[in-house]
Amino acid sequence: MIGICAALERAAWSVWDQQAALLPLSYVEAVQRAGGLAIMLPPDESLVANPDPALELIDGLMLAGGADIDPAFYENEPHPETVDTVPERDAFEIALVRGAIARDMPVLGICRGMQLINVACGGSLLQHLPERYGHHEHRRVLGSFDGADHDVVLSDGSAAEGAAGEASHATKSHHHQGVDRLGEGLVVSGVSTLDDLPEAIELPEKRFVLGVQWHPEADPASRVIGAFVDAARRSVDASDSGAAKLEASGAQHPAGDRVTPLSKARRERV
C-alpha cells in the first residue's frame, strides 16, 4: 500500500470548476505497474500534529511533484518567482515525512517531493535556479516534459544508483527550485551533468529514504518507482516475519497485548 500525497489545486472537469485534491495519473500507474496499491493522501490539518493514523495504513510514502514550498517552512522570505504556494499541503507532508522517517518507512520524494524531504530534515531551498546558474535548462517548457531530458551522475553504491540501476541516468525534469542547505543526515547522491545541481538526496542510515529531482513517473522505462515499491514490500515482509516470531514465542507487546503482524492488523482496520 503506497500513500501518494495529493495536491490541492483549482481544477475543471465535466461541468465543474472547483478546488480539488488531485494527482497526475502517471504516479498511480507507475505504482500499479510495480505491483503496489496506490492510495491518495490529501492534506488533512488534523494529522499535522500526529500523522500516525495515516502512516499506519500504508507501507511506503511517495511525495509527488507540484507547487513551490512556502519559504516560511525553511525560514526564508519568498522570492518573486515563488508563487502559488499551498502551506496546508506543506505542513501535512512535512509531518508525514518526519513520521515516516521515525518509523523507518520507505519514502520516495519526486521533484517537489525531494525538496520537501530536505525541508522536513531542516534544509533550505534555492528559490529560483536561473539566478544562481544562469539558465532555464531544468524547466525548458512550462507544463511539459518536451525537451526536458538531461543526465545525472549517481554515487557508487548509493540508494539512488541502486534504484535507477545505473550510475549515469537519463532523466526528465521540470523545476525552477532546488536544494541549497542540506538537511540533517542527508547526503547528495546524484548531481546534474548540466551544472552539478543536486539531483538525488538520501538518508543512508535508513531503509529507503530517497529524493530525486527528476520525474521517474514520466518515464515508463524508469526503475526508480519499482525499486521504491520493492523496498516497501520488503519492509512489510520483515515486519510480518519479526512480529510472527514474537507472537509465536508468546512474548508480550510493551502495552501488554500479544503482537499481531502489522500489515494484517492494518488491513483488518481498513
pLDDT digits (tens, 9 = 90+) for 237-246: 887 765 554 4
The pLDDT score that the predictor gives to residue 149 is 83
What three-state secondary structure class fits 168? Answer: strand
Average pLDDT in the 165-186 region? 92
- The domain 2-269 having CATH identifier 3.40.50.880: the answer here is yes
Confidence class of residue 155 from pLDDT cuts 50, 70 and 90?
Answer: very high
Query: Residue 244: what pLDDT?
Result: 55
Judge whether residue 187 has pLDDT over 80: yes
Compute how many other C-beta atoms are within 10 angstroms of the C-beta atom of residue 96.
27
Is residue 256 scored above 50 in pLDDT? Answer: no
Phi, psi of 204 (to 5 degrees): -60, -30
Using the predicted structure, report yes or no on whether residue 79 has a pLDDT greater than 50.
yes
What pLDDT is stored for residue 247 in this prediction? 60
Q: Is the pLDDT of residue 258 over 70?
A: no
At a CB cut-off of 8 Å and minimum separation 6, what does 253 contact?
259
The residue annotated as part of the active site, out of 5, 93, 111, 199, is 111
Region 202-211 average pLDDT: 97
Say what the pTM is. Answer: 0.88
Q: Do the beta carbons of residue 107 and residue 64 sit within 8 Å?
A: no
CA dist 53 and 64 (Å) reads: 20
Residue 2 pLDDT > 50, yes or no?
A: yes
| pLDDT of amino acid 238 | 84
Which pLDDT value is given to residue 260? 33
138, 169, 174, 215: the active-site residue: 215
The whole-angstrom distance between residue 85's C-alpha and the CA centroid of its chain comes to 18
- Residue 212: pLDDT band (50, 70, 90) is very high
Distance (Å, whole) CA 195 – CA 19: 37
Catalytic residue among 161, 199, 202, 217: 217
Region 105-134: mean pLDDT is: 94
Helix, strand, or coil here: 161? helix
> Which pLDDT does position 257 carry in this prediction?
41
- Please report the pLDDT score of residue 250 as a whole number: 58
Higher pLDDT, 250 or 45: 45
Residue 98, C-alpha cell as written in the block: 518526519
**Furthest C-alpha separation in the chain:** 64
Q: How many Cβ atoms from other residues are within 10 Å of residue 267's Cβ?
A: 11
Name every residue whose Cβ is closer than 8 Å to that of residue 170 and which is 6 or more positions away in sequence: 149, 150, 151
Residue 5 annotated to the active site: no
Q: What is the end-to-end Cα distance of the chain in Å, rounded?
A: 11
Bridge partners, 63 (sequence order): 5, 109
Residue 135 binned pLDDT confidence (cut-offs 50, 70, 90): confident
Rounded distance between C-alpha atoms, residue 97 and residue 230, angstroms: 19
DSSP 193: T
pLDDT exceeds 50 at position 133:
yes
Pair 176, 182: CB distance under 8 Å: no
The answer to whether the CB of 213 falls within 8 A of the CB of 173 is: yes
User: Residue 175 catalytic?
Assistant: no
Domain edges within the chain: 2-269
| pLDDT of amino acid 142 | 77
Has 217 been annotated as catalytic? yes
The average pLDDT across 50-73 equals: 97
